[in-house]
Structure 1
């Protein structure tokens, strides 16, 4: 594991704990003590950490060195889009929400850039802060996000829209930024450093750090409500893949002669058998539109039709990802906590299908569980992702 990767995990840990020794960090991160010590030495030199020395018990022997952040990380503004709502939350690195602002989508079309900027300003105001008080801004988008070339002068910038230009696919969330670079827009209009990432990846990172994936080695997190996708986290590090498509179950083909998807594939899962399709089918059964919360309430109440439908839905997902599980061999699969009470029912069907269709060794000790953070997952992950994207500080020499 590289020193830079270890640095990010140390920053995550110390954002939640007041301080720690090298032994505590090595155990918590499952990383060799020598690797942790090298990272700590570099971070002290770069003035990211301060050292607290304590006398050993009894007053003899070597002093115990404890490390803590040199200064408290500033909060971040995180922007996430859903089919019917756009939300910006002011979030501390430890996931604490300071304030938020949201707006319902109008049927007339996507939000304007001015409306988006106003949403950021309202979230800051509701947190009792000025825009300048924030470390930066994060944009979570439902489309694939591809890393720019390593030679780019701003390597933290990531582009999801280069191949679409001013004609993005007919997904409402993607139309908001048609022809625009979200990072450039926010940096220009807000005066803050900005980064962009796929919202499913942000959810996966959030659940891995502070939710159901804590302590996991290889974690696959599935987003099913806001979008149909997912993310992969290995040893606390997001692994989006070369093209940004790692974990994107929504774009696995389930019908070869299905409709053409904006991704270039046919019969993708999100359009053929995703959660939105299921919700519409259940709405037809009861004769009126159902929200995800309505579906969860029906499941919690024990409605046999809804319980069976959600269990079958989980089984379909399990069958689709069974080959992936055999290849990736994760130790935890997290089902979108935004499903609420329905998530546990989905995991039951998924687990049954994975035991039946996947490699027995891969499925034997696999933990399939519902997310703990609910709809907060991408915001928690967004704050962590932003701070991890910051370059190491340059030491000040006098």
Structure 2
């Protein structure tokens, strides 16, 4: 244990820990002097980091190399054993991502590929297994050869032991609206069960917006708040509700499914079978949209992206989108009065504009007291919010089996 001048315990930074691990992975056992040279870190930083990892049992001292010089050569440090790892598979409407993390939550490798989750032949478990194997292989020495647990994040309401909520109804609507020949097999059961059978390790699955919520609450912009609503505004729209650190799913896993709140009675058709749902009106799927950009359907992601680059032609669409969001979120604020609302998936420039407009919508619909008591913030974890939410679930799963 390393203490500072005041006697307080001084922990090394995550950057320093990564640097030391990377050097040992790439070069094998090293002396402290060699670690200073390889990492570029200060002598005191290397000493503190190495001692902390020794205390935690991650590193061990080994016999020094024999030399022809005088005196005893410096001791070397190396991994005490392979660093344990877990895996995360993140499925969106258009991409599949495989991420490898240590048991401390450090992302150490990842692979990704374009993926059509609604294609009849799609199999994210098999494709994800291949990506995860590639990511683990990228690590090299010093890490376990296999993951000890896996989390799977996906769009759509999820119930443990069942899988996607309302899959049979969704199949009919997909065939009618999108024109595909029904749902892929992976949507007909619980992906967590399939993962456990495929890998032979503990596995969990969860809705992607719920994972983003857990990630932001435990590691990001929602930390310290007791009631947090995290709104996902990337590759779809959704929300996750975390109360006192625990995810609230609802009776059928539908809590936070704001994508399917009706905001326009005569609006465009939605995959859920109704019309005018928030997802359809904002065109977060590839179905349709109320506005146009250069005579093409205006998807919400396109609006945000072009607004980020200063395109004034999309400001009207941006404000319209915020008004629709404000209707739904403002009503939720009346019912929930959360400490914080975190918007995930926006860059700082567009996010500041959205927050300013959304604050006005919330106060107009929920009242001044509710509006002033609720903090609006941008997500702090970026594209890793769902990854860290998956880690939260895996950490709990592994702790329960210890």
TM-score, with normalisation over the residues of structure 2? 0.68
Aligned equivalent of 1:116, options 113, 119, 128: 128
Conserved in 2, the CA contact under 8 Å of 1:93 and 1:384? no
In the other structure, the counterpart of 2:188 is 179
Which residue pairs with 2:163 in the alignment? Answer: 159
The equivalent of 1:82 in structure 2 is 92
Q: Distance in 2 between matches of 1:277 and 1:110?
A: 19
Moved more, 367-376 or 157-166: 157-166
- Bigger Cα Rg: 2
Give the CA deviation at 1:383.
0.8
Highest relative contact order (Cα 8 Å, sep 6+), 1 or 2?
Answer: 1
Match of 1:193 in 2: 202
Cα distance in 2, alignment partners of residues 181 and 204 from structure 1 = 21
User: Which residue of structure 2 aligns with residue 143 of structure 1?
Assistant: 156
- In the TM superposition, residue 264 of structure 1 has moved relative to its aligned partner by 5.6
- CA deviation map 1:329-350 (0-9, x unaligned): 0011111235564222222221
The 1:97/1:324 distance shift into structure 2, 3 A limit, reads same
Range with bigger deviation, 133-142 or 299-308: 299-308
Correspondence list, 1:5-24, <5 A: none
TM-score with structure 1 setting the length: 0.68
Matched, 1:384 2:397: no
- Alpha carbons of 1:335 and 1:285: their partners in 2 closer, same or farther (altered >3 Å)? same
1:91 aligns with 2:101: yes
2:165/2:252 contact within 8 Å kept: no
Question: Shift in Å at residue 294 of structure 1?
Answer: 6.4
Deviation at 1:266, TM superposition (A): 4.1
Give the conservation status (yes or no) of the 8 Å contact 1:295–1:342.
Answer: no
Shift of 1:224: 1.9
Question: Are 2:114 and 1:101 equivalent residues in the alignment?
Answer: no
> In structure 2, the residue corresponding to 1:350 is in which secondary structure?
helix
Could you tell me how far 1:389 is from its partner in structure 2?
3.1
Between the aligned partners of 2:104 and 2:226, the Cα distance in structure 1 is 21
Which SS does the other structure have where 1:219 is aligned?
A: strand
Question: What is the alpha-carbon root mean square deviation over aligned residues?
Answer: 3.9
Tell me the alpha carbon deviations over residues 93-150 of structure 1, each in whole angstroms, 9 at most, x when there is no partner. 5542111111113697553353232122222223347775322111111111124xxx
**Structure 1 Cα separation of the partners of residues 296 and 265 of structure 2:** 32
> How many aligned residue pairs are there?
322
- Give the whole-Å Cα distance in 1 for the aligned partners of 2:103 and 2:341: 24
Shift of 1:311: 3.2
Change (3 A) 1:385 1:169: farther
| Alpha carbons of structure 1 residues 317 and 138: separation in structure 2 relative to 1, 3 Å | same
1:350 corresponds in structure 2 to 358
Please give the residue correspondences for 1:212-251 in structure 2 after superposition, counting only pairs within 5 Å.
212-251=221-260
What residue in structure 2 maps to residue 33 of structure 1? none
The answer to whether 1:126 aligns with 2:126 is no
Question: 3-state SS of the aligned residue for 1:135?
Answer: coil
Query: How has the CA–CA distance of structure 1 residues 308 and 166 changed in structure 2, closer, same or farther, with 3 Å as cutoff?
Result: closer
Deviations along 1:40-97, whole A, 9 cap, x unmatched? xxxxxxxxxx9xxxxxxxxxxxxxxxxxxxx999432111112221111112355421
Measured against aligned partners, the alpha-carbon deviations of 1:238-282 in whole angstroms (never above 9, x if no partner) come to 111221111111111113355664546543211123545799677
Question: Separation in 1 of the partners of 2:104 and 2:299?
Answer: 30
- 1:293–1:226 CA distance, 2 compared to 1 (3 A): closer
- Uncovered stretches (5+) of structure 2, i.e. residues with no partner: 1-13, 15-55, 57-80
Give the drift of 1:181: 3.4
Q: C-alpha distance in 1, partners of 2:162/2:398? A: 14
Match of 1:58 in 2: none
Which secondary structure does the structure 2 equivalent of 1:197 belong to? Answer: strand
Q: Aligned partners of 1:313, 1:290: CA distance in 2, in Å?
A: 11
Counterparts in 2 of 1:86 and 1:163: CA distance versus 1, 3 Å: closer
